[in-house]
Amino acid sequence: MDLQRALNKIYSMHQFDIKLGLERIEKLLELIGNPHHGKKYFHVAGSNGKGSTSSFIASILYEAGFNVGLYTSPHLVRFNERIRINGIEISDEYISEFINSIDHLIDQHKPTFFEITTALAFKYFNDKNPDYIVLETGLGGRLDATNVIIPVASVITSISLEHTNILGSSLGKIAFEKAGIIKNGIPVFTADINPEAADVISKRALELNSPEFRFKDFVITGHDSLQIALQKKLFNLYKTGLHGFHQLSNSALAVKTVSESVGISDSVVVNRGLMNVIKNTGIQGRYEVIQKNPKVIFDAAHNVEGVKAFLKVFEKEYQIYRRRELIFGVMRDKDLSSMLGLLRNYFDTIYAVETGYERSAGISEIIDAGGELGLQLKPLENPSRFIEQFRTDRDNECLVVLGSIYLLGELKSKMS
């Protein structure tokens, strides 16, 4: 079975059907020898920032001399991006051979796309045996397919209203699902979280006798910097390899996690890990500057909190451009009105697009949401062609592509 046939096989397993629960993944892992056992994991959940935080953790560990596995989702352009060791993607051959080897199990037990991918990651990491593995949850935490391990640390990034039809309609309910990754006696590190959500997580940590390291207890926030209290020193943080003050917060959480869990606190090592995060992990789509003039920015801000984080960076530069245009597309379960309400004053024109995925908000849905705010959004049927033309015939203008990571990946795959 070649790579494309293998991917077609797992894509056919209801890629966007969400079937939470651990029974199928536990059975599949048992049938392939429980490859997830006996490894050292960092387990990361959250609504925003979990991909960045996971990447920062992996990058610091790598700069400290460890071999590091990293499992994230979704991918931007290539499926292989989801599974890496020391920044190097899993090979086409390994994916093909694995899917071929469990083809009969897929037909018999009907695991989901994400469960198959998670089993692939566990098997790959077991075979390659990195020193540490950083696992990002797919959805929620308590019933997520990754939640079959005992980690060296649990990490919970920011929490916001998301997937409310699945995770619950309040921050407290969503926090309960995220807190499901906390394990008995294992330390948990939390971001600067809404009090309602923080109380739920703290209660769960207390029930499980898990030491909790709360952001507000180990970080002092300055005007444009952070100071992190480590075991024996203070670490000043001014800049990372990713744009935005919110990335300082994500990196602070990562620094505290590896310091307490592994004892890494050397300033040179930590700084290298933070600054080299893109090179070391391949992370993309975080205020990613595709071209400087005309300016083209890709950002995977897929919900209200993500848009707010994007704008904190963008507001520092948007006025220098003669004209600003936005290509916007997200999944239909997002708060379209609130996102567009935040974005409206920063762009001269907003184009509505949709991805090729079934959960994508349609162009008309986005335009209608804008209309309720008095905005006249324009439909854009061929955004890749629009981007190509923009990059060649504009000057001192800015184009932002913002929203679902599926949209960013679809467009990046077509760029020359």
Residues 274-309 pLDDT 10s: 999 999 999 999 999 999 999 999 999 989 999 999
Q: How far apart are CA 127 and CA 315, in angstroms?
A: 46
Q: Over pLDDT 70: what percentage of the chain?
A: 95
Contacts of residue 168, Cβ cutoff 8 Å, sequence gap at least 6:
174, 176, 177
3-class SS at 407? helix
Burial of 381 (0-12, 13-18, 19+ CB in 10 A): exposed
Give the model's pLDDT for residue 239. 96
What's the pLDDT tens digit per position in 114-129?
Answer: 999 999 999 999 999 9
Set out the domains of the chain in order of their start, with CATH numbers. 3-281 (3.40.1190.10), 288-412 (3.90.190.20)
Give the model's pLDDT for residue 16. 46
Q: How far apart are CA 219 and CA 252, in angstroms?
A: 8
* Banded model confidence at residue 356, pLDDT cuts 50, 70, 90: confident
Give the predicted TM-score (pTM) of the model.
0.94
Q: Please name every residue paired with 326 in a beta bridge, in sequence order, or none if there are none.
A: 350, 400
Phi and psi based region of residue 65 (left: phi greater than 0; alpha: psi -120 to 50; beta: remaining) = left
Q: Quick check: 164 pLDDT over 50?
A: no
3-class SS at 401? strand
